[in-house]
Chain A
Amino acid sequence: MRLVFLFKGVWAVLAALVVGAFLVVLAGADPLAAYGALFSGAFFDYYGLASTLVRMSPLLLAGLAVIVPLRAGLFNIGGEGQIYIGALAGTVAALYLPEALPAALRLPLIVLSGALGGALWALIPALLKAYRGINEIITSLLLSYVAIYLVGAVIHVWLMEPGAPYPYSREVPYDVLLPVFLPRTEAHAGILIALTCAVVLGIVLRRTTLGQSITVVGHNPAAASYAGINVKRLILTSFAIGGAMAGLAGTFEVIGLKYRLFDHFSPGYGLQGIIVAFLASLSPLLAIVAAFFLAGLQAGAGAMQRAVGVDTTMVEALQGLIVLFVAVGLAFRYRPGRTAGKPPAGAPAAAVPETAAKSAEG
């Protein structure tokens, strides 16, 4: 019985796929053929798999950017902005670090400055929350728009390739591009770093004092404070770690994939990170699976369109359904002695932080 509740994300995905099948029928296609093309294009094809991995990297990192602060009971909705600022910091480092330095030294500096950029941007809502009690959901979300347009402005006035028809920066030097680990694809080393980050954060949150303190603050800040935990410092730490992850996502998009900083380069990875976080029940390790799956949906969408003629926007609808069912799933909690499918009357569907944090522990 417990297991049924453990894998709520799986049920949400299955429910979304079933409802999505009806949408495919409405679009005049065979759902089994559509899903067959979608998943074979995403997972059972060399280039498709590489493309899935390429998309997984920013999704996973953006998911981690949500998971760490949410374990401390705080919503980081501003992953998108942290991705942009991280990408900007990484690009500036890549373009302006003196070429006299060896690439082996510049590359880590670029990655670090990207992470630092994201972390600093995330610290703004964290400081406002810790010292003024201002709602971090609103500040982090709104700061995303500031970040996106700030990056656009910087590209326009400072970094823009001369004569370009669209605002994008000059190309970063070839010697600091991330190496590719699957031949003839764009699967770059940033994917491996993202996986490493997920594993390390999984261990940190479970096994270290820092991780335990974050969890305690998430459950009950007042009790944590009483127990001698510096709650303010933990708010800042968790947001900085999250922001650094998002900053890495942005930097890898530039030096791993696009080789330039484009205006509006992210198709909403920051917000999709929230889906990853909830699909993974706030576990960094499960986030790998969740990000891989969502990335596969996006990578396979093109193959589905070519095979059965269903528009790629169908996949966006599927993602929306997954969000919906994950949210519905939050209302159902494992309570020994109660029958499944009968939530307690007036189950607090809105009380997300506590519910989610608890379900993460199984």
Chain B
Amino acid sequence: MKNKLAIGLAAIGVAAVMQGTALAEALKVAVVLPGVVTDKSFNENVYQGLTRARDELGVEIAYTEKVPQPSQVEVMSDYARRGYDVVVGAGAEYTDAAKRVARQFPDIDVIVLNGAPTDGVATINYDNQQFGYVLGLAAGHGSETGKIAALSAQQVPAFEQVVEGYRAGFNAVRPDGEVLVAYTNDWADIAKAKEASLNVISQGADVLLPYLDAGFLGVVQAAEERDVHVVGVVRDLSGEYPEVNLLSTVLDFGGALYQAVELAQNEAIEPRDYRFGIGTDAGYLGGFNAEASQEMRDAVAAAVEKMQAGELDPSAE
């Protein structure tokens, strides 16, 4: 028993020493995630960007998974006071917590992925309307019923922007077309997402846009069962689900995070809104369905070109 106690105390001592030696020069980056890093969606994508930053930029990383909304401030503050230089909230729902942490720890860089522009916080965003617009265009050419749908967990600004562009693109092809919107209240719940999808399909929607984490799989399953199409906005669905995928765009949040970390390493990041348009390193077009019409492909390509040139602004319509 005494021996075990001695070993236990030694272990505590070793742990304490190891904590002491961690005071290296490398930039320390912590990411707080709403889900698990193996969700094959948003969280995994962010995690890949984080590990890439570790491997290529040599920063020290840490992350916490599955942080519920009421605990966000505690977890983020804990990283801030333990000497992390950059604390990232992965998702729009961290905006408010980030604001409080930035106020309390003015010396560190607080970053929110996908968050609305906020005082004291660097927000990494996409021109979500552009991504929604091309998907809406594709849906306009692919839909037979004239009804399409978009699903998310919460009514966050980024999703509303996607829907705005989605609707504009759809109505550009079908002026009388209707866009249904549904919320599941859970980013990761596959069953809830499937149920909500079957519901909108029953209402006549035949193209679905999932803006979810792991929950996107429920939308894909429902689409497979009822033989309708899905447009992927966050990740490219054309590789794994070639049958149901109509067109995908890729919002590479991991890539955007990597760029933000690189900026922070050069001490160049500022508390302002950073925005990626379609056709950039961190946000681009994915694959079409193999049976997609040439008309659809041409319309999408033309729209992307116009938006990059600044001739088309779907958010203004």
Interface residues of A (CB under 8 A from B): 32-33, 35-37, 39-41, 44-45, 47, 51, 54, 161, 164-166, 168, 184-186, 257-259, 262, 264-265, 267, 302, 306-307
Contact assessment for A186 and B74 in the assembled complex, using a CB-CB cutoff below 8 Å: yes
**Closest residue on chain A to residue B105 by CB atoms:** A184
Contact assessment for A47 and B81 in the assembled complex, using a CB-CB cutoff below 8 Å: yes
Contact assessment for A36 and B14 in the assembled complex, using a CB-CB cutoff below 8 Å: yes
Main secondary structure of the interface of B (DSSP, over half): helix
How far, in whole Å, are A259 and B77 apart by their CA atoms in the complex?
A: 14
Q: Please indicate the chain A residues that have their CB under 8 angstroms from the CB of B64 in the complex.
A: 302
B213 to chain A, nearest CB (A): 14
Contact assessment for A165 and B92 in the assembled complex, using a CB-CB cutoff below 8 Å: yes
Cβ contacts B7-18/A at 8 Å (1 or 0 each): 110011011100
Contact assessment for B8 and A184 in the assembled complex, using a CB-CB cutoff below 8 Å: no
Counting contact residues on chain B (CB < 8 A from A), the size range is 20 to 34
Contact assessment for B93 and A36 in the assembled complex, using a CB-CB cutoff below 8 Å: no
Given contacts A165-B93, A165-B154, contact A35 B11 (CB under 8 A): yes
How far, in whole Å, are A44 and B12 apart by their CA atoms in the complex?
A: 9
B70 interface residue (CB < 8 Å to A) = yes
How far, in whole Å, are A307 and B15 apart by their CA atoms in the complex?
A: 8
Interface residues of B (CB under 8 A from A): 4, 7-8, 11-12, 14-16, 19, 62, 64, 68-70, 73-74, 77-78, 81-82, 92-93, 95-96, 100, 154-156
Could you show 28 A-B contacts with beta carbons less than 8 Å apart? A32-B4, A32-B7, A32-B11, A33-B11, A35-B8, A35-B11, A36-B8, A36-B15, A37-B11, A37-B15, A40-B12, A40-B15, A41-B15, A44-B12, A45-B19, A47-B82, A51-B74, A54-B74, A161-B96, A165-B93, A165-B155, A165-B156, A168-B96, A185-B81, A186-B74, A186-B77, A257-B74, A302-B64
**Closest residue on chain A to residue B100 by CB atoms:** A259
A265 touches which of B15, B19, B70 (Cβ 8 Å) = B70
Contact assessment for A306 and B62 in the assembled complex, using a CB-CB cutoff below 8 Å: yes
Given contacts A44-B12, A258-B70, 17 further A-B contacts (CB under 8 A): A32-B8, A33-B11, A36-B15, A37-B11, A39-B12, A40-B16, A41-B15, A47-B82, A164-B96, A165-B156, A166-B69, A166-B154, A184-B81, A186-B74, A259-B100, A262-B70, A264-B68
**Closest residue on chain B to residue A54 by CB atoms:** B74
Contact assessment for A258 and B82 in the assembled complex, using a CB-CB cutoff below 8 Å: no
How far, in whole Å, are A106 and B68 apart by their CA atoms in the complex?
A: 30
B305 to chain A, nearest CB (A): 34
- Most chain A Cβ neighbours within 10 Å, of B11, B19, B62: B11
Q: Please indicate the chain B residues that have their CB under 8 angstroms from the CB of A168 in the complex.
A: 69-70, 96
Q: Please indicate the chain B residues that have their CB under 8 angstroms from the CB of A164 in the complex.
A: 96
User: What 9 pairs between A and B have smallest CB-CB spacing?
Assistant: A36-B11, A262-B70, A265-B70, A166-B69, A165-B93, A40-B12, A165-B154, A36-B12, A40-B15
**Closest residue on chain A to residue B155 by CB atoms:** A165
Q: Please indicate the chain B residues that have their CB under 8 angstroms from the CB of A41 in the complex.
A: 15
Q: Please indicate the chain A residues that have their CB under 8 angstroms from the CB of B4 in the complex.
A: 32
B212 to chain A, nearest CB (A): 14
- Most chain B Cβ neighbours within 10 Å, of A47, A161, A258: A258
Contact assessment for B78 and A51 in the assembled complex, using a CB-CB cutoff below 8 Å: yes
Q: Please indicate the chain B residues that have their CB under 8 angstroms from the CB of A267 in the complex.
A: 68
**Closest residue on chain A to residue B16 by CB atoms:** A40
Q: Please indicate the chain B residues that have their CB under 8 angstroms from the CB of A45 in the complex.
A: 19
Q: Please indicate the chain B residues that have their CB under 8 angstroms from the CB of A307 in the complex.
A: 15
Q: Please indicate the chain A residues that have their CB under 8 angstroms from the CB of B70 in the complex.
A: 168, 258, 262, 264-265
Q: Please indicate the chain A residues that have their CB under 8 angstroms from the CB of B7 in the complex.
A: 32
Contact assessment for A166 and B93 in the assembled complex, using a CB-CB cutoff below 8 Å: yes
How far, in whole Å, are A35 and B16 apart by their CA atoms in the complex?
A: 13
A334 to chain B, nearest CB (A): 24
B253 to chain A, nearest CB (A): 17
A191 to chain B, nearest CB (A): 15
**Closest residue on chain A to residue B82 by CB atoms:** A47
How far, in whole Å, are A40 and B68 apart by their CA atoms in the complex?
A: 25
A298 to chain B, nearest CB (A): 11
Q: Please indicate the chain B residues that have their CB under 8 angstroms from the CB of A44 in the complex.
A: 12, 16
